[in-house]
């Protein structure tokens, strides 16, 4: 192994470690202003304290008979549970719960297996963790933020504006 090769190896390793540790500078910022990144992160998962009572935004499906059930994340959007959950939070925070309900109702209509669903609600749920996990029952108080009727027939595919332009 020649000295040039050694120098390159030391440089790569030092640069890699400097980059990995770079997010430490986040701790100079106030907690509310810390930003996560990829692939360089300060790994904030599991570090935030959680209150005994939590608020969760989610979607509920209601059948024509009035039965209600939690709507699974795959009917809301792609990317898995956590990504969908974050996107729901973001839309609610931006005041777009009605748009979300409408979009999800459209998606539900496109799924043959959930044809019994008549309405989709965007819900704010308040849960007491000790009660839920102590009694093995997920029960909380709910507030409906938005509702959309599921179209009877599969809706037309919603196109994004830039794709419409491209087709024109």
Partner 1 sequence: MRAAGTFRLVGWLFRPAPATRLGVVRLLVGGYSLYYLARRRRMLAQIAETDPELFAPVGPARLLERPLRPATARRCTDATLAAGVAFTLGAGHRITGPLYPALLTWTLAYRNSWSMVFHHDNLLVLHAIVLGASRGADAVSVDALARHGWRRAVSAGPANGRYGWPLQAMNAATAATYLLAGLAKIEGELGWRWALGSALRRQVAVDGLRKEVFGSSASPLAYQMYRHTGIFTAMAVTSLMAELAAPVALISPRAGRLWALAAFGMHWGILAIMKVKFRYQLSGIAYLPFFDTGRLLKWRGTR
Residues of this chain, 61-90, that bind partner 1 according to CB under 8 A:
70-87, 90
Q: How far apart are CA 65 and CA 59, in angstroms?
A: 18
Choices 54-62, 110-118, 144-152; region in contact with partner 1 by CB under 8 A: 54-62
Based on the shown chain and the rule CB under 8 A, indicate whether residue 49 belongs to the binding site for partner 1: yes
Based on the shown chain and the rule CB under 8 A, indicate whether residue 47 belongs to the binding site for partner 1: yes
Based on the shown chain and the rule CB under 8 A, indicate whether residue 134 belongs to the binding site for partner 1: yes
What's the farthest any 2 CA atoms get from each other in the chain?
Answer: 77
109, 73, 68, 108: which is closest to 88 by C-alpha? 73
In the block, which residue shows the tokens 């935030």?
48
Identified binder of partner 1 from the candidate list 3, 33, 38, 167, rule CB under 8 A: 38
- Rounded to a whole number of angstroms, the minimum distance from the CB of residue 65 to partner 1 is 19
> Is the CB of 85 or the CB of 147 nearer to partner 1?
85
Residues of this chain, 139-158, that bind partner 1 according to CB under 8 A:
none
By residue count, the chain amounts to 168
Q: How far apart are CA 156 and CA 110, in angstroms?
A: 9
CA Rg value for the chain: 23
* Cβ atoms of 86 and 39 closer than 8 Å: no
- Tokens for 49, please give them: 């304290």
Can you give the binding site for partner 1, defined by CB under 8 A? 1, 5-6, 9-10, 12-13, 16-17, 20-21, 23-24, 27, 31, 36-52, 54, 56, 58, 70-87, 90-91, 103, 125, 127, 129, 132-134, 136, 138, 160, 162-163, 166
């Amino acid at each position: 192994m020649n000295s040039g090769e050694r120098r390159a190896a030391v440089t790569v390793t030092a640069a890699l470690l400097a980059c990995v540790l770079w997010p430490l500078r986040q701790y100079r910022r106030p907690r509310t202003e810390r930003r996560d990144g990829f692939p360089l992160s300060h790994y904030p998962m599991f570090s935030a304290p959680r209150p005994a009572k939590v608020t969760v935004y989610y979607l509920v499906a209601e059948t024509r008979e009035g039965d209600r059930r939690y709507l699974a994340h795959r009917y809301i959007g792609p990317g898995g549970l956590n990504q969908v959950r974050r996107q729901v939070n973001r839309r609610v925070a931006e005041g777009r719960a009605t748009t979300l309900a409408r979009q999800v109702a459209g998606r539900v209509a496109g799924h043959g297996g959930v044809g019994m669903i008549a309405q989709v609600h965007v819900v704010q749920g308040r849960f007491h963790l000790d009660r839920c996990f102590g009694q093995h029952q997920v029960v909380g108080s709910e507030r409906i933020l938005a509702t959309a009727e599921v179209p009877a027939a599969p809706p037309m595919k919603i196109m994004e504006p830039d794709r419409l332009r491209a087709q024109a």
